[in-house]
Structure 1
Amino acid sequence: MRWLLVLLMSATFATAEGERPGDFDYYVLSLSWSPSWCAREGDARGAEQCEDDTGFGWILHGLWPQKERGWPSFCRSDFRAPSRGETAAMADIMGSGGLAWHQWKKHGTCSGLSPQDYYRLAREAYDRVNRPEVLRALTKPYRLPVTVIEGAFLQSNPDWQADMITITCKQERIQEARLCLTRDLEPRDCGRDVVRDCTLDRALFDPIR
């Protein structure tokens, strides 16, 4: 019985829904490698961002309010939901308006900001990152150590330290680069439940379409 109680407490501590907006410690800026998502899911869905010559590389997955341990989600916001036009306006860096809507609903509501201010802040955070150009130059799939991706980001952003960024994988592909930021969008060390790099030595990295 005791182990079950610990398990339930851990699950509740990791993520909590319906919390008070604005109650968090820092942000996680999540950048998704679009070609990997397309290969895993997007092609099967017929997603527009996966069409040839779209040129999507590191797109904005989201700007996530984070606590030192755990994170809030689906908070009860007093702000009116974003319009279809406002979500569509984020497609140039997020790949689709649908993703922008989902990110507001799950994460943006916990920021304490209006949808307009949340999207503005997310775009500013995205624009502050130097995304490695060398990765866009690849013309065919490669299998490589995940440390190569992390190293490319650190070289392109000299002010960052290794504990400020995490590279994730999914289905043996490079999935995301996650950077931890203060509420003022300054890089900072990630919390213990965020700083978990993928450890694959031969992760698949798909080229830009």
Structure 2
Amino acid sequence: MMRAVLVGFLLLATGMAHADGEQAGDFDYYVMSLSWTPTWCALEGDDRDSPQCDAGQGFGFTLHGLWPQYERGWPAFCPTTERNPSRQMTGEMADIFGTSGLAWYQWTKHGVCSGLSASDYYATARLAYGRVNRPTVLRHLDREVRLPAALVEQAFLEANPELTAEMLTVTCEAGRVQEVRICLTRDLEPRACAPDTARDCPLSEALFSPMR
């Protein structure tokens, strides 16, 4: 009896797992997340001995991901018939993702929900990343500073006049400026973020480390 119950539970769990993934290509807009590499290195990358964090690499705002989004919530790990990217393909994306490993993970979690092939998803991500000016003033800091997180948003608005405050949000983690997230239509045009995405960091003295 117990064995039958266990088998039934496992079959149910397997069925639920297959039902978890939303339909690929069914989403409303994109969130492009730009990660400030020095923050990621301080909180995670250094402990992993990531080459992204080596001195002289010069990584600033790298692409954390291009995420399909609903007006409320987001899909992830969608079933897809598209082939996974090759090692060469992910390696060629390391210049904007920071590592090939992140490029791979972003495909498996988010790219599969775009309805695109891996090559088209990466091409779309590169196009979106290239359309945004990363503020030079933030890249040229020569020492660690504390600043209002709102100043990072303002720097992006000044560098990208087509953006408004409703189209981007700045996040923090562990008292540090972590990411800038920009909301884009499926055609990669700037748009207002939905309420569950718009959650600006309120810190007035967030730590911001210089590039390495």
TM-score by length of 2: 0.90
> 1:27 aligned to 2:30?
yes
- C-alpha change, 1:157 and 1:17, in structure 2 (3 Å) is farther
CA–CA distance in structure 1, aligned partners of residues 52 and 28 of structure 2: 32
2:152 equivalent in structure 1: 149
- The one-letter code of the counterpart of 2:93 is M
CA–CA distance in structure 2, aligned partners of residues 136 and 59 of structure 1: 12
Asked which structure has the greater CA Rg, the reply is 2
CA–CA distance in structure 1, aligned partners of residues 49 and 77 of structure 2: 28
1:140 equivalent in structure 2: 143
Q: Which runs of 5+ in 2 are unaligned?
A: 1-18
Consecutive aligned runs of 4 or more in structure 1 exceeding 4 Å deviation: none
2:130 equivalent in structure 1: 127
- The one-letter code of the counterpart of 1:195 is A
1:64 equivalent in structure 2: 67
> 1:101 aligned to 2:104?
yes
1:180 equivalent in structure 2: 183
For 1:8-19, what aligned pairs fall within 5 Å after superposition? Answer: 17-19=20-22
Deviation at 1:17, TM superposition (A): 4.1
1:113-137 Cα deviation digits (max 9, x unpaired): 0000000000000000011000011
- The one-letter code of the counterpart of 1:160 is L
Matched residues, number: 194
- The one-letter code of the counterpart of 1:191 is A
1:166 equivalent in structure 2: 169
- The one-letter code of the counterpart of 1:73 is A
For 1:110-125, what aligned pairs fall within 5 Å after superposition? Answer: 110-125=113-128
Q: Does the aligned pair in 2 maintain the 1:21–1:110 contact within 8 Å? A: yes
- C-alpha change, 1:79 and 1:39, in structure 2 (3 Å) is same
2:53 equivalent in structure 1: 50
CA–CA distance in structure 2, aligned partners of residues 200 and 116 of structure 1: 38
Deviation at 1:18, TM superposition (A): 0.6
- The one-letter code of the counterpart of 1:123 is R
CA–CA distance in structure 2, aligned partners of residues 88 and 182 of structure 1: 27
CA–CA distance in structure 2, aligned partners of residues 113 and 135 of structure 1: 33
C-alpha RMSD of matched pairs (Å): 0.8
1:127-182 Cα deviation digits (max 9, x unpaired): 00011000011011101001100000000001111010000001111100000000
1:89 equivalent in structure 2: 92
CA–CA distance in structure 2, aligned partners of residues 62 and 178 of structure 1: 10
1:86-110 Cα deviation digits (max 9, x unpaired): 0111000111000000000000000
SS in 2 for 1:73: coil
Q: Which runs of 5+ in 1 are unaligned?
A: 1-15
CA–CA distance in structure 1, aligned partners of residues 194 and 135 of structure 2: 24
